[in-house]
Amino acid sequence: MKGYAMLGIGMTGWITKNVPECGPLDAIVKPIALSPCTSDIHTVWEGAIGERTDMILGHEAVGEVVETGGMVKDFKAGDKVIVPAITPDWGSLEAQAGFSMHSGGMLAGWKFSNFKDGVFAEYFHVNEADANLARLPEGVKAEDAVMLCDMVPTGFHGVELADVQYGDTVCVIGIGPVGLMAVAGASLRGASHLLAVGSRKNCIQAAKEYGATDIINYREGDIVKQIMEKTNGKGVDKVVIAGGDVDTFAQAVAILKPGGRIGNVNYLGDGAYVKIPRVEWGVGMGHKTIAGGLMPGGRLRMEKLASLLETGRLDTSRLLTHHFQGFEHLEEALLLMKDKPADLIKPVVLI
Ligand code: NDP
Ligand code: ZN
Same domain, 308 and 280: no
Q: Is the distance from CB of 243 to CB of 154 less than 8 angstroms? A: no
Same domain, 161 and 136: no
Ligand nearest to the CA of 292: 1
Whether ligand 1 lies within 6 angstroms of the CB of 200 is answered as: yes
SS3 112: strand
Per-residue pLDDT, averaged over 163-170, amounts to 98
Same domain, 125 and 178: no
Taking the C-alpha atoms of residue 156 and residue 150, their distance in angstroms, rounded to an integer, is 10
Whether ligand 1 lies within 6 angstroms of the CB of 226 is answered as: no
* Shortest-distance atom of ligand 1 to CA 243: 7
Taking the C-alpha atoms of residue 64 and residue 123, their distance in angstroms, rounded to an integer, is 10
Count how many domains the chain has: 2
CA 174–ligand 1 middle distance (angstroms): 5
Which residue lies with its CA nearest to atom 12 of ligand 1?
174
pTM of the complete model = 0.97
Look at residue 107 in the predicted model and tell me its pLDDT: 97
Report yes or no for ipTM above 0.90.
yes
Lowest mean pLDDT among 38-52, 194-208, 304-318: 38-52
Which residue lies with its CA nearest to atom 14 of ligand 1?
244
Ligand nearest to the CA of 267: 1
Same domain, 269 and 306: no
Residue among 151, 266, 321, 322 whose CB has most ligand 1 atoms within 8 A, to mutate: 266
Ligand nearest to the CA of 152: 1
Per-residue pLDDT, averaged over 191-208, amounts to 97
Phi then psi for residue 30, to 5 deg, are: -110, 135
Taking the C-alpha atoms of residue 198 and residue 217, their distance in angstroms, rounded to an integer, is 5
* Mean pLDDT of the residues in the chain: 97
Same domain, 216 and 228: yes
Same domain, 257 and 323: no
Is a pLDDT exceeding 90 seen at residue 180? yes
Taking the C-alpha atoms of residue 115 and residue 91, their distance in angstroms, rounded to an integer, is 18
CA 185–ligand 1 middle distance (angstroms): 16
Same domain, 101 and 221: no
Look at residue 49 in the predicted model and tell me its pLDDT: 87
Same domain, 308 and 283: no
Whether ligand 1 lies within 6 angstroms of the CB of 295 is answered as: yes
Range of the domain at 97: 2-150+295-350
Kindly report, residue by residue over 10-35, the tens digit of the pLDDT: 999 999 999 999 999 999 999 999 99
Same domain, 132 and 176: no
Pairing state between β 80-83 and 61-68: antiparallel
Whether ligand 1 lies within 6 angstroms of the CB of 65 is answered as: no
Q: Which residues pair with 325 in a beta bridge?
A: 350
- Ion ligand 2, residues whose Cβ is below 5 A away: 37, 39, 150
CA 340–ligand 2 middle distance (angstroms): 15
Is a pLDDT exceeding 90 seen at residue 89? yes
Per-residue pLDDT, averaged over 36-40, amounts to 95
Q: Is the distance from CB of 206 to CB of 320 less than 8 angstroms? A: no
Is a pLDDT exceeding 90 seen at residue 62? yes
Q: Containing H/E element for 305?
A: helix 299-310
Look at residue 227 in the predicted model and tell me its pLDDT: 98
Which residue lies with its CA nearest to atom 4 of ligand 1?
176
Distances (CA, A) of 249 to 27, 159, 204, 264: 40, 16, 22, 9
Kindly report, residue by residue over 222-241, the tens digit of the pLDDT: 999 999 999 999 999 999 99
Find the DSSP H helices in the chain.
38-45, 93-96, 129-132, 142-145, 151-162, 177-188, 201-209, 223-230, 248-255, 299-310, 330-339
